[in-house]
Homo-oligomer: A and B are copies of this chain.
Amino acid sequence: MKTPFLDKVNSPADIKNMPLSDLTALAEEIRYGVINHSNLVGGHFGGDLGIVEATIALHYVFNSPKDKFIFDVSHQCYPHKMLTGRKGAFLDPLNHMEITGYTNPNESEHDFFTIGHTSTSVSLACGMAKARDLKGEKYNVVAIIGDGSLSGGEALEGLNNGAVLNSNFIVLVNDNDMCIAPTNGGLYKGLAELRATNGQSDKNIFKAMGYEYAYVEDGNNIEKMIEALEKVKDTNKPTVLHIHTLKGKGFKPAEENKEPYHWIMPGMADGKVYDFGETYDTLMTNYLLEKKKQDNTVIAVSPATPGICAFTPEFRAKMGANYTDVDIAEQHAVGYVSGLAANGAKPVLAIHSSFVQRAYDQLSQDLAINKAPATIIVCWGAIGANDVTHLTIFDIPLIINIPNIVYLAPTDKEEYLAMLDWSVEQTEHPVVIRAPYGAVVSSGQKDTTDYGRLNKSKVTHKGTKIALIGAGNFYHLAKNVHAEIKNKFGIEATLINPVYLSGLDTELLESLKQDHDIVLTFEDGCVAGGYGEKIASFYGATSMKVLNYGAAKEFTDRVSIAELYGRYHLTPELVCADLVKLLK
């Protein structure tokens, strides 16, 4: 597709004098850029398609970067990127990797934060506005937040505080009546009433907090958006502009079926269908569906991210009242399952490794101190996640240093299912299970382990001199290192599946002192604060040598797994190279 209008736009200044007809044509070209880019490399899709016109209007009315736009979660920043000098990445396949999928100050002076978690924009913008006031400067600060992100605690906390700024502070609520999946809570009933009444309903959470309020029913109409933004521009009062847009706008399948087109993988816009067959996620959902047939107190819970763990629309329909999507609300999710478990239900909360960190306090206070026997599945925990805001290496240090929580690391299908069933049925411990990541591995043998014997590791191969402790996903790495050690040094080493990340098998560790000199630990996460350091500390006063393998404490952005594995010595060859020095 040719993009004659977008071709003329190198910065927002270039659209200021465009007539409306050109802006409308520009919108279609931007839409093409979204589809083209996402289809090629994967990316956020429906939200970006819906916010095209609003973004054009924002850049038409305001003067970025003097006026500051802060995009919440920045899943909807592609049109903004195209208008601020980064269109090449969307139009030319050779340049697709030049940009990140999120706002990024390193890319452009029009971006102020690297953002990938929801519900932060209001707080960040509130701080920006307050700094402006302290400095005696004048400009607009605009937080742009989707309805889906509004339910997150930080957004609501930010709205509370932003309401009393007593100066220019604009919150653009981009309401497309969807989170990733449909929204559910009372907040959303209120937004629905506002949409149904053209913004006139009394049930207005923004007005209740003291905001000036305006509503635009057709947020995909550039002219109406310009008109509405002109009215709020340079306001001296905290103001909410609530606009209604169509998620997936302009791409029929996405308009009609919003959930699968929130984020797409390469080729999906061309109709490519992905089928991953049996995964650790479907094993879990099938388990829950069977369990629920026998026990109506079993309940699955998601904080608005059902797609990360095969909580599909079909699964949700079958679970019925035994499924709760609490909206984006990780803190509440943990409090909620704590309450469920305390009152005798059997909740299973599935949560992404990078988002579980929003609920540290609730894990500690609501769950762990109260020993609520809920089950939490941490999904996608592994070294190698692509984007800096979505790294999945911190859940181990986050969780294992909280007392009372049992954190299990299954290594295959049978272990995972056995741990899940043990956890759901037991009533003494808060249990977190780190779902294995990647292709399903099966031992083919039913696992009859009693996981109530806390901190009991499994010695899967008894040897001497060197012991390898491989947790979860990295049990398999340890197994490969084990083979390489035999091959390279002729040493029959000991191989251990620690099973528990949250506690040490001190009896086993003591016994290793008899005929081992070296212990290697492997964890598929950040070493700092993690499992391996505890082994090093345990042996601190002895002559046992300990090497800890895992990720370094660093934020990595779009670094390939191969590069990270090389950097962290996570291959049998590199581990053996380290061992050469120790074995001298």
Interface residues of A (CB under 8 A from B): 68, 70, 105, 112-117, 120, 122-136, 151-154, 156-164, 184-190, 202-205, 207-211, 238, 296-297, 299, 321-322, 324, 326-327, 329, 331-332, 334-345, 347, 355, 357-358, 360-362, 364-366, 368-370, 388-389, 394, 397-398, 400-404, 526-530, 532-534, 536-537, 539-543, 545-548, 553-555, 581-582
CB neighbours of A361 from chain B (8 A): 117, 355, 357-358, 360
Contact B202–A400 (Cβ < 8 Å): no
- Which B residues are CB-close (under 8 A) to A553? 401-403
Given A114-B369, A397-B401: A158 and B209 interface contact (C-beta under 8 Å): no
- Interfacial chain B residues near A184, Cβ < 8 Å: 161, 164
**Given the interface contacts A152-B153, A339-B124, does A160 sit within 8 Å of B187 by beta carbon?**
yes
Which residue of the partner chain, among B209, B296, B324, B534, contacts A185 with CB atoms under 8 Å?
Answer: B209
- Within the complex, which residue of B117, B127, B370, B402 is in contact with A336, where a contact is CB–CB below 8 Å? B127
Using known A-B contacts A401-B553, A537-B536, determine if residue A120 contacts B160 with beta carbons closer than 8 Å.
no
In the complex the two chains form, is A124's CB within 8 Å of B401's CB? no
Known: A126-B335, A160-B329, A540-B545. 4 other contacts (CB 8 A): A123-B362, A161-B329, A163-B187, A536-B540
19 intermolecular pairs with C-beta atoms under 8 Å apart: A70-B339, A113-B370, A123-B366, A153-B154, A159-B186, A161-B332, A163-B186, A164-B189, A186-B209, A190-B209, A190-B210, A202-B207, A203-B209, A205-B209, A394-B402, A397-B401, A401-B526, A532-B537, A533-B533
* Of B136, B160, B207, B347, the contact of A327 (CB 8 Å cutoff): B160
Nearest chain B residue, comparing its CB with the CB of A581: B541
Distance of A400 Cα from B553 Cα, bound (Å): 9
Q: Of the candidates B117, B151, B389, which one forms a contact with A157 in the assembled complex, judged by CB atoms under 8 Å apart?
A: B151
Contact of A343 among B131, B156, B189 (CB under 8 A): B131
Top 3 A-B residue pairs of the complex, sorted by shortest distance between their CB atoms = A153-B153, A127-B339, A163-B186
* A534 partner, pick from B187, B321, B528, B545, beta carbons under 8 A: B528
Give the CA-CA distance A404 to B364 in the complex, in Å.
Answer: 24
Chain B residue at smallest Cβ distance from A361: B358
Residues from chain B with a CB closer than 8 A to the CB of A131 are 297, 339-345
A326 lies within 8 A of B365 (CB):
no
Q: Which of B202, B368, B397, B548 is the one whose CB lies under 8 Å from A397?
A: B397
Among residues of B, the one whose C-beta sits closest to the C-beta of A404 is B555
Chain B residue contacts of A528, Cβ below 8 A: 400-401, 534
Q: What B residues does A321 contact at CB under 8 A?
A: 133-134
Determine the distance from Cα of A127 to Cα of B133 in the docked complex, in whole angstroms.
Answer: 42
- Indicate if the CB atoms of B324 and A161 lie closer than 8 Å: yes
Q: Do A158 and B335 contact each other (CB < 8 Å), given the known contacts A533-B533, A537-B533?
A: yes
Q: How far does the Cβ of A307 sit from chain B's closest Cβ, in whole Å?
A: 19
A134 neighbours in B (Cβ, 8 Å): 296-297, 299, 321-322, 345
Alpha-carbon distance between A536 and B527 when the two chains are bound, in angstroms: 12
Tell me, rounded to whole Å, the shortest Cβ–Cβ distance linking A467 to chain B: 13
Q: Is the CB of A546 within 8 A of B555?
A: no
Task: Give the nearest-CB partner of A112 in chain B.
Answer: B342
Asked if B153 contacts A336 (CB within 8 A), the reply is no
Q: Once the chains bind, are A541 and B537 in contact (CB under 8 Å)?
A: no
- For A112, list chain B residues within 8 Å (CB): 342-343
What are the residues of chain B within 8 A of A299 when measuring CB–CB? 130, 134
A394 touches B185 (CB 8 A): no
Residues of B within 8 A of A114 (CB): 369-370
The smallest C-beta distance from A288 to any residue of chain B, in angstroms, reads 14
Q: Which residues of chain B are near A296, meaning CB under 8 Å?
A: 134-136
Chain B residues near A113 (CB, 8 Å)?
338, 342, 366, 370
Interface centre among A125, A401, A404, by most B CB within 10 Å? A401
Which residues does chain B contribute within 8 Å of A117, judged by CB atoms? 361, 365
Chain B residues, Cβ within 8 Å of A543: 543
Task: Tell me the complex Cα distance, A324–B116, Å.
Answer: 27
Kindly list chain B residues whose C-beta atoms are within 8 Å of the C-beta of A204. Answer: 202-203, 208
> Do A120 and B185 touch across chains, with their CB atoms under 8 A apart?
no
Contacts of A153 in B (CB 8 A): 152-154, 156-157, 331
Contact assessment for B537 and A161 in the assembled complex, using a CB-CB cutoff below 8 Å: no
Which residues on B sit within 8 Å (CB–CB) of A133? 321
A181 nearest CB across to chain B (Å):
14
In the complex, chain B residues whose CB is within 8 Å of the CB of A355: 361
Whole-angstrom CA separation of A554 from B527 in the bound complex: 21
Q: Which residue of B lies closest to A503 (CB)?
A: B553
When A210-B189, A366-B124 are in contact, do A554 and B347 touch as well, CB less than 8 Å? no
Contact of B554 with A547 in the complex, beta carbons under 8 Å: no
A345 proximity list for chain B (CB < 8 A): 127, 130-131, 134-135
Q: Which residues of chain B have C-beta atoms less than 8 A from A540's C-beta?
A: 536, 539, 545-548
